[in-house]
Structure 1
Amino acid sequence: MSIQGSDADYSWELRHDDRVVEYGALSWSDEHPWTGKAATSPYEMGSELFDLACACAIEDCHDTTIDARMEGRPDPRPVGTVSVVLRDRSGAELVHMTARLEHVPVTAEDVQDAIERLRASEEEDRRAAEARRLRAEEPEETDRWFTEIIAPPVIPRPDPPEPPPAEQQRITDLEAEADDLRESVVDPDHCRRKLFEAEQRLAEAQRRERRLARDADESALDAATAHVERCAQRVGFWHDRVGEATETYLRAAALDAEATRLRRRD
Structure 2
Amino acid sequence: MPIDRADADYSWELRHDDRVVEYGALSWDDAHPWTGKAAASPYEMGSELFDLACSTALEDCRDAVVDARMDGRPDPAPIGRLAVILRDAEGGELISMTARLIHLPITDEYVDEQIAMLRASEEEDRRLALARLQHPEQPPTSLLMMNYAAEQPLPPLDPPDPPDPDRQRIDDLEREAENLRESVVDPDHCRRKLFEAQRRLTEAEQQIERAPGEDAAIHVARCAEQVTLWHSRSAESTETYLRAAALDAEANRLRRTS
| CA RMSD in angstroms, aligned pairs only | 3.6
Residue 153 and residue 6 in structure 1: after superposition, are their counterparts in 2 closer, same or farther (change >3 A)?
Answer: closer
Residue 132 and residue 59 in structure 1: after superposition, are their counterparts in 2 closer, same or farther (change >3 A)?
Answer: same
| Aligned 8 A contact 2:193 2:230 in 1 | no
Corresponding residue for residue 128 of structure 1: 128
Corresponding residue for residue 189 of structure 2: 201
Structure-to-structure mapping, 1:170-181, within 5 angstroms:
none
What are the superposed Cα offsets for residues 159-193 of structure 1, whole Å, 9 maximum, x if unpaired? xxxxxxxxxxxxxxxxxxxxxxxxxxxxxxxxxxx
Task: From 148, 153, 160, give the equivalent of 1:155.
Answer: 148
The offset of 1:56, in angstroms, is 0.6
| Aligned 8 A contact 2:80 2:101 in 1 | yes
Corresponding residue for residue 81 of structure 1: 81
What are the superposed Cα offsets for residues 192-251 of structure 1, whole Å, 9 maximum, x if unpaired? xxx9985323257889xxxxxxxxxxxxxxx999556358789xxxxxxxxxxxxxxxxx
Unmatched 5+ stretches in structure 1: 140-146, 158-194, 208-222, 235-266
- Write the letter of the residue equivalent to 1:91: G
What are the superposed Cα offsets for residues 20-50 of structure 1, whole Å, 9 maximum, x if unpaired? 1100111111111111111111110110010
The offset of 1:59, in angstroms, is 0.8
Corresponding residue for residue 109 of structure 2: 109
The offset of 1:125, in angstroms, is 2.3
The offset of 1:120, in angstroms, is 2.1
| Aligned 8 A contact 2:3 2:10 in 1 | yes
In structure 1, how many angstroms separate the alpha carbons of the residues matched to 2:6 and 2:107? 48
- Write the letter of the residue equivalent to 1:117: M
Higher relative contact order (CA 8 A, sep 6+): 1
- Write the letter of the residue equivalent to 2:187: E
Corresponding residue for residue 17 of structure 1: 17
In structure 1, how many angstroms separate the alpha carbons of the residues matched to 2:87 and 2:229? 28
In structure 2, how many angstroms separate the alpha carbons of the residues matched to 1:2 and 1:233? 37
Structure-to-structure mapping, 1:10-49, within 5 angstroms:
10-49=10-49
- Write the letter of the residue equivalent to 1:120: A
Residue 80 and residue 228 in structure 1: after superposition, are their counterparts in 2 closer, same or farther (change >3 A)?
Answer: farther
- Matched residue SS, 2:12: strand
Question: Normalized against structure 2, the TM-score is what?
Answer: 0.57
What are the superposed Cα offsets for residues 134-156 of structure 1, whole Å, 9 maximum, x if unpaired? 442479xxxxxxx9xxxx99718
- Matched residue SS, 1:155: helix
Residue 233 and residue 77 in structure 1: after superposition, are their counterparts in 2 closer, same or farther (change >3 A)?
Answer: farther
Question: Normalized against structure 1, the TM-score is what?
Answer: 0.55
Determine which structure has more spread, i.e. the larger CA radius of gyration: 2
| Aligned 8 A contact 2:11 2:25 in 1 | yes
- Matched residue SS, 2:148: coil
Residue 56 and residue 70 in structure 1: after superposition, are their counterparts in 2 closer, same or farther (change >3 A)?
Answer: same
Percent of aligned positions with the same letter in both sequences? 57
Corresponding residue for residue 50 of structure 2: 50
In structure 1, how many angstroms separate the alpha carbons of the residues matched to 2:5 and 2:227? 42
User: Number of aligned pairs?
Assistant: 171
| Aligned 8 A contact 2:10 2:88 in 1 | yes
In structure 1, how many angstroms separate the alpha carbons of the residues matched to 2:29 and 2:98? 25
Unmatched 5+ stretches in structure 2: 151-182, 196-222, 235-258
What are the superposed Cα offsets for residues 96-119 of structure 1, whole Å, 9 maximum, x if unpaired? 000001000010011011101111
The offset of 1:2, in angstroms, is 3.5
- Write the letter of the residue equivalent to 1:100: R
